[in-house]
Amino acid sequence: MDLGLTDRVYVLTGASRGLGYATAECLVADGARVVLSARDPDGVVAAAERLGGPGRAVGLAVDLTDPTAPERLVAAARDHFGRLDGALVSVGGPPPGSVASVSDEQWRRSFETVFLGTVRMVRTVAAELSDGGAIGLVLSTSARGPLPGLGISNGLRPGLVGAAKDIADEYGPRGVRVVGLLPGRIMTDRNRELFAATGDPDRARAEAEAGIPLRRIGEPAEFGRVAAFVLSPAASYLTGVTVPVDGGALRGL
């Protein structure tokens, strides 16, 4: 199936590695061009080079806590490629810990990055898009069900789903789509860190896999292919929803 991605241009945040980079790989493989962003200058430049360099991908070091970051990324897409068709907004996961154990300062920092940084980015991009534009938000299955030991994520992710629905409603009449993506256990650096934090990563992985109907941890490319489809014109009637990519782990119908 032709996804219709040829020469379309997308901005991806948190994309020097992990789910953002996996999505960028899939977009570029189908003919799109991308602006990658991350906080690490060397990492994001190297990621862009791996995707083909300036003709296909450019990298820009930004921090989404900076209020000017979204406008800089939009400008980079237009300056380098002459257009903007959408974005994938991904930010690093907040620190682990139960709601009762994390500090006020951890909540404040996480709100600035995970929540406000995401909302600001989506709001800015949505205002720049025209008919056919699409935005994907990389959230978490914690948006539908709390995950043990991830209290901040359990608190912030459901709010982002509500914000995404609100933006989807507002910009839908302009033909702009907004979709939330809910990755489950995908083998990224984030999940490796969570497994390692238990003190017995092999056991933690085995226990996680036992709770997944497919009985395995997902690969980043498996998420990237779903995200690329959601952002593409092939998904033109999909908006205002959340799509789990979790091997069947969520139990809700």
Buried-exposed string 60-70: b where 16+ CB fall within 10 A, e elsewhere: bbbebeeeebb
How confident is the model at residue 19, as a pLDDT? 96
208 vs 232: CA distance, rounded Å:
31
How confident is the model at residue 93, as a pLDDT? 79
**Strand arrangement, sheet containing 86-89:** 57-61, 33-38, 9-12, 86-89, 134-138, 177-183, 242-245
Buried-exposed string 182-206: b where 16+ CB fall within 10 A, e elsewhere: bbbbbbbebbeebbeeeeeeeebbe
23 contacts 3 by C-beta, under 8 angstroms: no
CA distances from 75 to 10, 20, 245 (A): 12, 20, 31
Q: What region, left, alpha or beta, does residue 28 occupy, with left being phi > 0 and alpha being psi -120 to 50 degrees?
A: alpha
Going residue by residue through the chain (253 aa), what tens digit of pLDDT does each one get? 899 999 999 999 999 999 999 999 999 999 999 999 999 999 999 999 999 999 999 999 999 999 999 999 999 999 999 999 999 999 877 888 999 999 999 999 999 999 999 999 999 999 999 999 999 999 999 999 898 889 999 999 999 999 999 999 999 999 999 999 999 999 988 888 888 888 998 998 999 999 999 999 999 999 999 999 999 999 999 999 999 999 999 988 8
Domains of the chain: 9-184+224-242 (3.40.50.720)
* Exposure on the CB side of residue 20, measured as CA atoms within 13 A: 31
10 vs 67: CA distance, rounded Å:
20
87 contacts 35 by C-beta, under 8 angstroms: no
Nearest to 145 by CA among 92, 197, 96, 184: 184
